Amino acid sequence: MQFPSKLIENAVAEIAKLPGIGKKTALRLALHLLKEDGQETSLLTDALARMRSETVYCKQCHNISDADLCQICDNPLRDGSSICVVEDTRDVMAVENTAQYHGQYHILGGVISPMDGIGPGELNIESLINRAKSADGLKEIILALSPTMEGDTTAFYITKKLKDLDIKLSTIARGVPVGGELEYTDEITLGRSILSRTKYEV
Amino acid sequence: MQFPSKLIENAVAEIAKLPGIGKKTALRLALHLLKEDGQETSLLTDALARMRSETVYCKQCHNISDADLCQICDNPLRDGSSICVVEDTRDVMAVENTAQYHGQYHILGGVISPMDGIGPGELNIESLINRAKSADGLKEIILALSPTMEGDTTAFYITKKLKDLDIKLSTIARGVPVGGELEYTDEITLGRSILSRTKYEV
């Protein structure tokens, strides 16, 4: 691509580093910013710079946060008797959007994946164990990890570490998705959904 | 969406203002920047801020430029006998990528579109006419506008304004695209390609 200006070329190169954005999209975004009022660009760059420099990780659950303790850990109305263990921030947002869970969270920051060089030491597992040992009134730890090889390995590792504590360990249900068709469900999922069948409350 | 931090919420809102980027993609990009080294974010924000504040419009062709005269207008090797009139910067890049044109450009900044409130006064047409009248050795003006209603209207307006000058006016060929199938070509395009048929040079 022949750019009319080195400054645009540089901006396009930086935008195209973002995941899922190619050179053509980057150019479209750069030209959009040039067309808009200059204030739009400064609002964007300020928001990005502040987000990057001012967000910290919650010292209790390791979620991204504005302060030492995140909004959830700092909320006295949240149920302290359960911790939901998830892979990353997006999973917290997904669970929060269901409005079905009112306890606390623990963000691992990934799952065990030897292929990518991620062992238990790279994740926030040690702090989860310490939290489980020291937390007052903690009754249940829910593992809400992806049903993949890596997610299952991580769940297995955590349950082994925690099994001697007097805390109920559970995992989110595996089964046929709501709205899913039985005939298109893979056999492992369908098999699990039969094994974990739920009794009708009539 | 429930955001873990006001700073992320703000950044996502700003990113999602960009064309073609929704809230979910914006969140993915924001979390990517948080995961990467802090320097990545500052490289991006610096590149955007510099691009927005330091680029200017070339005073001759109105293309985006680093200096008063753009790289093309300032290049003595470019052929000064022809001006290619295009809608915007992306069209200049598209024509440059063909490596078939070595003359100069004139960027209109849009096309006449009464629906969007864009008349001839909003475009760089006046400066094109002045340029055509005063330029030394100018022999041809090529209109390379999109073959839409608005593009054709703009071309018609410009040709009317320039027809009394002793300059050849031309438009890029309309026809079947290279690699296109005849049977899938619309009748207007196919009709024009027959009217503008080219003699074999044998």
Option in B7, B30, B70 nearest A54 (CB): B7
Does residue B43 sit in the same domain as residue B99? Answer: no
- The total domain count for chain A is 2
A residues 14-33 near B, CB within 8 Å? 14-15, 17-21, 25, 27-33
* Cα–Cα distance for residue pair B66/B56, rounded to 1 Å: 6
Sort out which chain A residues have CB atoms less than 8 A from B2's CB and list them. Answer: 93, 96-97
Q: How many residues does chain B have?
A: 202
Does residue A103 sit in the same domain as residue A49? Answer: no
Q: Which of B5, B91, B102 to mutate to test binding with chain A, by most A CBs within 10 Å of its CB?
A: B5
Does residue A50 sit in the same domain as residue A86? Answer: no
Closest Cα of chain B to A194: distance in Å? 33
**Residue B19, pLDDT above cutoff 90:** yes
A residues 80-139 near B, CB within 8 Å? 88-90, 92-93, 96-97
pLDDT at A193: 84
pLDDT at B179: 83
Sort out which chain B residues have CB atoms less than 8 A from A99's CB and list them. Answer: none
In terms of CA atoms, which chain B residue is nearest residue A24? Answer: B90
Does residue B95 sit in the same domain as residue B142? Answer: yes
pLDDT digits 0-9 by tens, A109-154: 999 999 999 999 999 999 999 999 998 889 999 999 998 899 999 9
Residues 6 or more apart whose CB falls under 8 angstroms from that of B88 comprise A31, B107, B108, B109, B110
Does residue B43 sit in the same domain as residue B83? Answer: no
pLDDT at B26: 95
Boundaries of domain holding B102:
79-171
Does residue A24 sit in the same domain as residue A103? Answer: no
Q: Which of A18, A84, A93 to mutate to test binding with chain B, by most B CBs within 10 Å of its CB?
A: A18
For residue B161, being part of any structural domain is answered with yes
Q: Long-range contact list for B69-75, CB < 8 A, 24+ apart?
A: B70/A4, B70/A5, B71/A4, B71/A5, B72/A4, B72/B104, B72/B105, B73/B104
Q: Is A13 on the interface with B (CB under 8 A)?
A: yes
For residue B136, being part of any structural domain is answered with yes
Sort out which chain A residues have CB atoms less than 8 A from B20's CB and list them. Answer: 25, 28
pLDDT digits 0-9 by tens, A21-64: 999 999 999 999 998 888 999 999 999 999 999 999 999 999 99
* Cα–Cα distance for residue pair A200/A197, rounded to 1 Å: 9
Q: Is A50 on the interface with B (CB under 8 A)?
A: yes
- Residues A53 and B42: beta-carbon distance below 8 Å: no
Does residue A48 sit in the same domain as residue A83? Answer: no
For residue A48, being part of any structural domain is answered with yes
What mean pLDDT is predicted for residues A75-91?
Answer: 93
pLDDT at A13: 95
Does residue B34 sit in the same domain as residue B110? Answer: no
- pTM, entire model: 0.78
Does residue A90 sit in the same domain as residue A39? Answer: no
Q: Please indicate whether, in this complex, the C-beta atoms of B34 and A64 are within 8 angstroms of each other.
A: yes
CATH number at residue B42: 1.10.8.420
Crossing angle between the packed helical segments A23-35 and B89-98, to the nearest 10 degrees: 140
3-state secondary structure B108-137: CCCCCEHHHCECHHHCCHHHHHHHHHHCCC
* Cα–Cα distance for residue pair B45/B27, rounded to 1 Å: 17
pLDDT digits 0-9 by tens, B22-44: 999 999 999 999 988 889 999 99
Q: Please indicate whether, in this complex, the C-beta atoms of B4 and A65 are within 8 angstroms of each other.
A: yes
For residue A21, being part of any structural domain is answered with yes
Kindly indicate the confidence band of residue A18, based on its pLDDT and cuts at 50, 70 and 90: very high
For residue B177, being part of any structural domain is answered with no
Does residue B166 sit in the same domain as residue B115? Answer: yes
Q: Please indicate whether, in this complex, the C-beta atoms of A33 and B41 are within 8 angstroms of each other.
A: no
CATH number at residue B124: 3.40.1360.10
For residue A62, being part of any structural domain is answered with no
Does residue B158 sit in the same domain as residue B88? Answer: yes
For residue B71, being part of any structural domain is answered with no
In terms of CA atoms, which chain A residue is nearest residue B61? Answer: A4
pLDDT at A16: 96
Q: Please indicate whether, in this complex, the C-beta atoms of B45 and A43 are within 8 angstroms of each other.
A: no
- Residues B4 and A71: beta-carbon distance below 8 Å: yes
Q: Which of A2, A6, A92 to mutate to test binding with chain B, by most B CBs within 10 Å of its CB?
A: A2
Distance of CA B67 to the CA centre of its chain: 19
User: Is the pLDDT higher at A199 or at B109?
Assistant: B109
Option in B13, B55, B71 nearest A34 (CB): B55
What mean pLDDT is predicted for residues B148-160?
Answer: 93
For residue A199, being part of any structural domain is answered with no
pLDDT digits 0-9 by tens, A177-186: 888 788 888 8
User: Is the pLDDT higher at B97 or at A106?
Assistant: A106
